[in-house]
Amino acid sequence: MHRVLIVEDDPVEAAKLRGHLDRYAREHDTSFSVETLSSALEFVETRHVADLIFMDINMPGINGMEAAELLRTYDTETPLVFVTDLAQYAVRGYRVDALDFMVKPVEYADFSLRMDRAMRVVQRRAGKSLTIPTADGLRVVGLRDVLYVDILRHDLYYHVTGGEVLRNRGSLTQLEEQLVPEGFVRVSASHLVNMAQVTRVRAGSVEMSDGEEIGFGRSRKRQALETLSAYIGGSI
Amino acid sequence: MGVSLDQLPLSGVSPSVLLIAYLTIGLIVARLALGVFLLARGLPTRSRPVLRACVVIACLVAGTSLFFAGTVTWHNGTPYYVVQMVSFSLLLVGCAAAVHFLCETSWLVSLFVSTAGYTIQNLASGTDEFVSVICRGASAIHPVDLEQLMVFLLVTVAIYVPYYLTFVRAVRRAGLERVEDRSMVVVMALVMLVVIGFDLVIKGLTGESGVTLGSVIALRGVHGLACAFTLWLEYTLLYRQRLATDVAVTQRLLVEKDHQYESSRQSIDAVNAKLHDVRHEVLRQLDRADVDLDRELLASVAREISVYDTRIRTGNVALDTVLTERRLLCERSGITLTCVADGAALDFMGAGDLYALFDDVLDAVIGLGPTSVSLVVRQTIGVASIHVEHDGAGETGPLDETHSVASRYGGSVSVRPGQLDVILPLPE
C-alpha cells in the first residue's frame, strides 16, 4: 500500500486524480491510500508524510511551487509531481526536484505515463535488505546502506555506510545477478556499485558517498554508463 | 620484388631448370596479385569485370614471360640488379594501371593499393630469404620441391594473414575512397622503391664473401621493419585523412544546425510576438463593455492563442527554441509534451550541439506516434541528465546525432522501450 497525497484546491480535479489512481491501481495490481488537502498552507503546516505527492501550483495563499520549496527544506526525497494549468511555471519544477508535471485537465494516458516513472522512484525507496553470512554469523543490512562490493581472492567485501566492511566468500558474478535488479551496477571486474550511493559520475570513474573513487573497467565502462544514465533519468 | 635466381644469367641451362625458374617468378607475381587483390576487393569494379580480369591475367602472364625472357637472355654487361630495379619499378606502375583498369577508382587509390600490395609481397619475399639463410645458407627460395614449397606457403600464410587481419581490415574501415593526398602517395611509392632497392642490395651482399650471417640477418630485420613502416605510413595517411574528413563533415553539420537553430529562434520569436499582440488585442476588446461581441468565441480564441504566446523558458535559449518549436508541432499532432527542464544544466554545450541533440531525440520519439511525452532535464551527481518517457510504439531509430553529440561530450545514451536517457558529464 502506497501513501499518496493530493494537494489540490479544486475538488473536481482532485476527484479526477483519485479516479486515475484507482484505475492505475487496478491495472497494475497495486493499491494506494489517498489523502487530499485543499490548500498548500495546510500541507506546509501539517507536514503530511507520503510516498508520492501530487501538487497543484495555482492555489490561493501559498502556491504549490512555494509549498514544494518548503517541503524540500525538510524532505529531499519524496517524489513530487505537479498538476497544473500553468505549464510555463512547471518547467522550473527541477528547482524543487519535481519528477514531472501534468497539465489539467489530466488525461489518463498522460497520468499513467508519469505515474510509471513515479512508481519506479517510489519502489527504489522501499527498504529492502540483504542477508550476508559472515564469520560472525548472519548479518542483515539495508540495501540502501551498501555502498559497493568488491572482491579479492574469492572473498566478497561489502562496504556499508559508517565505514564497516563485511566479508564472506562468494562470487561477484552471482551477487551481480542478485543485486542488479535492486539498483546496483558492475563497473569493473572487481566492483559492484550501489547507484543510489554514487555522488558523482566522471568520465572514467564514479565517486561514492564515502569519498571512494572507483574506476570503470575498460570492457564494462560503456554498459555501466548506459545503466547509470537510465538510473539517473529514472528509467530503472 | 625479391626474385633471386642463383644461376643468372640462365642462358645455356637445361629446360627443366628454366621451367622451375619460370614457375618461381610466376608464384612470386601471384603473391603480389594476392596482396593487391585483398585490398582492392572492396572497390567497385568497372563494366565487364570478367573480361577485364582476363586481360589483366593475360598481361601478368605476358609480363612475367617477358621478364623471364629478359632474364634468360641477359648478358649485355648491365648490372643485373639494375635490370631488376627497373623491372620492378615498371611492375609497380603496371600494377597500379591494372587496378585502375579493373576498378572504378582514381589513380591515387590504385597507386595506394599497389604500393601496399607490393610492400607486403616484398616483406614475404624478404622473409623467404631470411628463412632460407637461416636454414640452408642459401640466399633464395625456389618453391620447386615439396619442402621448399611448404616453406613458401607457410611464409605466405604467416605474412598475409596478419596483413589481412590488421592492415586490410583497418584500411577498409577507414575507407579507401578517402585517399586524396597526392604528394603523400607519390612519396610512399618512392619509399617503396627504396625498400625494393634495399632488398636487392641485401641479396647482393648475401652471396659476397666477407659478409657474415649475422650481418645478413640484421639487414633482413631492418628490411622487414622498413616494409612494416611503409604499411604503417599508408594506414596513418589514410586514417588522418579520415579524421580530417570526419571533422570537416561534423563542422559542416554543426554550422547547418547553428543556422537552423538561429532561423527557428527568429521564426518563433516573430510568431510569438505577433500572437502576443493579437491575444492582447482580443482581451482588450473583451474588456470593452460598449462593444457588441461574441464574447465566448473571443475568449476561446484568446485561450487557443495563449498556447503560442507562452514560450518555454528553461534558462537556456537554444533549449527554449527547440522545445518551443517541438511543443507547437506536438500541439498540432495532439501530443502532450511536458518539460521540466533546467536549461542551465546544459550551458556548457554549444547551441548547435544542443539543438542537434534535442532535435534528434524528439524527432525519434515523436516519430513513434505517442500521445504523451515527458521530458526532464536536470543536473545531478556531476552530470546533466536528459530523460524522455513516452507511450509511443516500437523502437526509436538509430539516434546517430544523439550518440555523436553525447560521445563528443564524454556522455552516454540508453534506450529502452518507452524511455530514452542521455547523461553528459558536467565540466569540473
Q: What is the DSSP string of B208-263?
A: STT--HHHHHHHHHHHHHHHHHHHHHHHHHHHHHHHHHHHHHHHHHHHHHHHHHHH
B150 pLDDT band (50/70/90 cuts)? confident
Domain span at B396: 313-428
pLDDT value at A54 more than 90: yes
Same domain, B244 and B326: no
Report chain B residues whose CB lies below 8 A from the CB of A113.
Answer: 372, 374, 389-391, 418
Residue A14 vs residue B222, higher pLDDT: A14
Q: Do A198 and B381 touch (CB under 8 A)?
A: yes
Architecture of domain A2-126: 3-Layer(aba) Sandwich (3.40)
Best CA proximity match to A99, nearest among A78, A71, A130: A78
Residue A128 pLDDT more than 90?
no
Sign of CA dihedral B211, B212, B218, B221: positive
- Does residue B55 sit in the same domain as residue B159? yes
Q: Does the pLDDT of residue A220 top 80, yes or no? A: yes
Least confident of A69-73, A86-90, B386-390: A86-90
DSSP for residue A203: S
Closest CA to B84 of B65, B98, B63, B70: B70
Which residue of A95, A117, A235 is in closest CB contact with B414? A235
Q: Which of B 97-156 lie inside 8 A of A, CB atoms?
A: none
Tell me if B340 and A100 make a contact (CB, 8 A cut-off): yes
pLDDT value, residue B386: 94
Lowest mean pLDDT among A77-81, A113-117, B240-244, B324-328: B240-244
Tell whether B63 is within 8 A of chain A (Cβ): no
| Residue B212 CA neighbour count, 13 Å, CB half | 3
A200 vs B377, B382, B386: nearest CB: B382
Query: Is the CB of residue A8 less than 8 Å from the CB of residue A83?
Result: yes
Ordered by start, the domain boundaries in chain A are: 2-126, 130-232
CB contact under 8 A, B389 and A235: yes
Q: Do A234 and B336 touch (CB under 8 A)?
A: no
Sequence-separated contacts (24+) of A138-143 with Cβ below 8 Å: A139/A166, A141/A166, A143/A179, A143/A182, A143/A183, A143/A194
CB contact under 8 A, A233 and B419: yes
State percent of chain B over pLDDT 90.
Answer: 11
CA pair distance A123, A183, nearest whole angstrom: 11
The set of cell numbers assigned to B415 is: 534506450
Please answer yes or no on whether B383 and A91 come within 8 Å at the CB atom: no
Residue A137, H or E segment: strand A137-142
The predicted structure's pLDDT at residue B17: 67
B273: in domain: no
- Nearest partner of B30 among B169, B196, B153, judged by Cα: B153
User: Do B226 and B322 have their domain in common?
Assistant: no
Tens of pLDDT, residue by residue over B159-204, are: 999 989 888 888 877 676 666 666 666 766 677 777 777 877 777 7
In a shared domain, residues B227 and B358: no
Q: Is the pLDDT of residue B5 over 60?
A: no
Report the phi/psi class of residue A82: left, alpha or beta, with left for phi > 0 and alpha for psi in -120 to 50.
Answer: beta
Q: How far is CA A206 from the centre of its chain?
A: 19
Summarize the confidence of residues A169-198 as an average pLDDT.
92
Which positions in chain A touch B306 (Cβ < 8 Å)?
A: none
Comparing B413 with B331, the larger pLDDT belongs to B413
With an 8 Å Cβ cutoff, the interface of chain A facing chain B consists of: 87-88, 90-95, 97-103, 107, 109-110, 112-114, 116-117, 198-203, 207, 222, 225-230, 232-236
- How far apart are the C-alpha atoms of B142 and B20, rounded to whole Å? 8
- CA–CA min distance B142, chain A (Å): 47
Of A107, A207, A226, the CB nearest to B414: A226
Segment A112-137 shows an average pLDDT of: 85
Same domain, B241 and B115: yes
CB contacts, 8 Å: A117 with chain B: 374, 389
Residue B253 pLDDT exceeds 70: no
Q: Which one is predicted more confidently, A79 or B10?
A: A79
Higher pLDDT, residue B92 or A115: A115
CATH class of A130-232: mainly beta
Section A16-28 average pLDDT: 94
Provide the CATH number for the domain around residue B353: 3.30.565.10
Q: Which is higher by pLDDT, A197 or B75?
A: A197
Residue B258 lies in a domain: no
Least confident of A26-35, B255-264, B298-307, B348-357: B298-307
pLDDT computed for residue B221 by the predictor: 83
Over residues B235-263, mean pLDDT: 71
- Angle subtended by helix axes B213-287 and B317-333, to nearest 10: 70
Check B423 against A232: CB less than 8 A apart. Answer: yes
Interface contacts A/B by beta carbons within 8 Å: 125
Q: What is the mean pLDDT of residues B19-36?
A: 81
pLDDT for position B76? 53
Which of A106-115, B27-36, B102-111, B286-295 reaches the highest mean pLDDT? Answer: A106-115
Same domain assignment for residues B236 and B359: no
Nearest to B308 by CA among B333, B341, B271: B271
Q: Grid coordinates standing for B226?
A: 622498413
- CB atoms A114 and B377 under 8 Å: no
∠ Cα A9 A88 B295 (to 5°): 75
Mean pLDDT (whole number) for B32-36: 88
Q: How many domains does chain B have?
A: 2
Contact by Cβ (8 Å): B141, B151: yes
Q: Which one-letter DSSP state was computed for residue B48?
A: S
Given this model, what pLDDT does residue A228 score?
93
Among B310, B418, B422, the residue with its CB nearest the CB of A88 is B310
Are B243 and B339 within one domain?
no
Parallel, antiparallel or unpaired: strands A80-84 and A52-56: parallel
Residue B258 has pLDDT above 80, yes or no: no
User: Same structural domain for residues B348 and B218?
Assistant: no
In a domain, B40, yes or no: yes
Residue B120 scores a pLDDT above 80: yes
Task: Among B201, B222, B250, give the residue marking a domain's end.
Answer: B250
- Judged by CB atoms closer than 8 Å, whether chains meet at A91 and B313 is answered as yes
Q: Which residues of B touch A199 (CB under 8 A)?
A: 381-382
Please report the pLDDT score of residue A156 as a whole number.
Answer: 93
Is residue B420 pLDDT above 60, yes or no?
Answer: yes
Average pLDDT, chain B: 78
Q: Which of B202, B224, B250 is the last residue of a domain?
A: B250
Decide if B355 is inside a domain: yes
- Per-residue pLDDT, A208: 93
What residues pair up with B241 in beta bridges, in sequence order? Answer: none
CA distance A143 to chain B (A): 20
Residue B67 domain-assigned? yes
User: Does residue B140 register a pLDDT over 60?
Assistant: no
Q: pLDDT, tens digit, for every residue of A142-167? A: 888 899 999 998 899 999 988 889 99
pLDDT of res. B11: 53
Q: What is the pLDDT of residue B78?
A: 59
Mean pLDDT (whole number) for B243-256? 69
pLDDT: is B391 or B131 the higher one?
A: B391
Q: Is the per-residue pLDDT at B133 higher than 70? A: yes
**B302 within some domain:** no
Inform me whether the pLDDT recorded for B6 exceeds 50. no
Q: Are residues B185 and B61 in the same domain?
A: yes
Q: How confident is the model at residue B206 (pLDDT cuts 50, 70, 90)?
A: low
